[in-house]
């Protein structure tokens, strides 16, 4: 399993070696009264087999919903010292929470490009605290808004939202796939995450467009076999990566 300090995925992207499929179940769809069991069920080898855990942080301002904050990340880190905690900050002032999430043990800090006027300063602050950096785009935000950051190799991952952020269980927006394809064409070695409505019926479109990091909440946590769905998602991404590498 992945140590949260393990930078292998980031280094892979820097070294331009082939991308890895990464599945990140969103805890928003789990039973929060059993957070540890739910988290370990998707990470452990026999209950599940995911690489990352996706933690959705909502402030009731950037999005019309409130979820969880750094205290929960801190508890997860203590209970799951090796887990890669992929934190998706749907908050209006992402600069405000960098220190708290770093102290809590977040592995990656993904902020929304729409929520900041100084992304480079924010990225510096995130890196200074030892976290990987992700930048997220709402459905209405063009890929070009992160070209400058990607061209300068400042981010480890771009998150393309495939629903309006704020709630789990929404329908996948297939019209976001040209955005994923545009990013993949320009940045062959970048981790590109998709988030919202991903599951067995939508994974092919996302994988073929070029996404390699897949957030899946409802489809994993509500499945009869979480491991089976996780493996199905990963296989589909792996096939798409292999196909692209032979083109």
Ligand X SMILES: O=C(CO)[C@@H](O)[C@H](O)COP(=O)(O)O
Which residues form the interface with ligand X (CB under 6 A)? 26, 28-29, 54, 56, 88, 90, 163, 165-170, 195-198, 215-219
Out of 51, 56, 59, 86, the residue judged to bind Fe ion by CB under 5 A: 56
Phi, psi (deg, nearest 5) at residue 213: -115, 115
Q: Which residues are annotated as a binding site for substrate?
A: 26, 88, 166-169, 197, 217-218
Q: Which does 198 bind (CB under 5 to 8 A by kind): Fe ion, ligand X, none?
A: ligand X
Among 124, 156, 195, 231, the active-site one is 195
Give the nearest distance from C-beta 57 to Fe ion in angstroms.
Answer: 9
Q: Which of 90, 94, 129, 150 is nearest to 5 (CA)?
A: 129
Give the nearest distance from C-beta 246 to ligand X in angstroms.
Answer: 30
Q: Which residues are annotated as a binding site?
A: 26, 54, 56, 88, 166-169, 195, 197, 217-218
Q: Would you call 195 a catalytic residue per the annotation?
A: yes
Q: Could you write out the DSSP letters of every residue in 10-76?
A: HHHHHHTPPP--EEEEBGGGS-GGGHHHHHHHHHSTTT---SEEEEEEEBSSSSS-B---HHHHHHH
Give the nearest distance from C-beta 215 to Fe ion in angstroms.
Answer: 5
The pair of three-digit structure tokens given for residue 210, joined into one six-digit string: 């070029």
Q: Which does 218 bind (CB under 5 to 8 A by kind): ligand X, Fe ion, none?
A: ligand X
**Rounded to whole angstroms, how far apart are CA atoms 36 and 39?**
5
Strand partners, 56: 88
Q: Could you write out the DSSP letters of every residue in 69-134?
A: -HHHHHHHHHH-TT-EEEEEEE-S-GGGGHHHHHHHT-SEEEEEGGG-S-HHHHHHHHHHTT-EEE
**Rounded to whole angstroms, how far apart are CA atoms 64 and 86?**
21
Helix axis angle for 70-79 and 35-43, nearest 10°, is 60
The window from 55-63, 113-121, 167-175, 203-211 that contacts Fe ion (CB under 5 A) reads 55-63
The pair of three-digit structure tokens given for residue 98, joined into one six-digit string: 């960098």
Q: Which of 70, 63, 88, 117 is nearest to 217 (CA)?
A: 88
Give the nearest distance from C-beta 5 to ligand X in angstroms.
Answer: 24
Give the nearest distance from C-beta 114 to Fe ion in angstroms.
Answer: 15
Among 31, 56, 100, 156, the active-site one is 56
Q: Which does 77 bind (CB under 5 to 8 A by kind): Fe ion, ligand X, none?
A: none
**Rounded to whole angstroms, how far apart are CA atoms 38 and 48?**
10
Assess 195 for contact with Fe ion (CB under 5 A): yes
| Site map 75..114 versus Fe ion, x via CB under 5 A | -------------x--------------------------
Q: Which residues are annotated as a binding site for a divalent metal cation?
A: 54, 56, 88, 195
> Smaller CB distance to ligand X: residue 104 or 233?
233
Which residues of this chain interact with Fe ion, rule CB under 5 A?
56, 88, 195
Which residues are the active-site residues? 56, 195
């Amino acid at each position: 399993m992945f140590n949260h300090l393990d930078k292998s995925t980031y280094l892979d992207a820097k070294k331009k070696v082939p991308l890895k499929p990464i599945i990140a179940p969103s805890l928003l769809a789990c039973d929060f009264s059993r957070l540890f069991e739910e988290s370990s069920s998707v990470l452990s080898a026999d209950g599940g087999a995911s690489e990352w855990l996706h933690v959705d942080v909502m402030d009731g301002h950037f999005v019309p919903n409130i979820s969880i904050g750094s205290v929960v990340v801190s508890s997860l880190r203590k209970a799951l010292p090796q887990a890669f905690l992929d934190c998706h900050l749907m908050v209006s002032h992402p600069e405000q929470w960098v220190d708290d999430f770093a102290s809590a043990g977040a592995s990656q800090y993904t902020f929304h490009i729409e929520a900041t006027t100084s992304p480079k300063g924010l990225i510096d602050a995130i890196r200074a605290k030892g976290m990987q950096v992700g930048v997220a785009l709402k459905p209405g935000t063009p890929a070009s808004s992160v070209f400058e950051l990607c061209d300068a190799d400042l981010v480890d991952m771009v998150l393309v939202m495939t629903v309006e952020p704020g709630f789990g269980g929404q329908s996948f927006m297939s019209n976001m796939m040209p955005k994923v394809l545009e990013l993949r064409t320009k940045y062959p070695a970048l981790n590109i995450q998709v988030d919202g409505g991903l599951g067995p019926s939508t994974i092919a479109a996302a994988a073929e467009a070029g996404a390699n990091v897949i957030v899946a909440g409802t489809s994993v946590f509500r499945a009869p076999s979480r491991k089976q769905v996780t493996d199905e998602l990963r296989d589909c991404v792996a096939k798409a990566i292999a196909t692209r590498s032979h083109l």
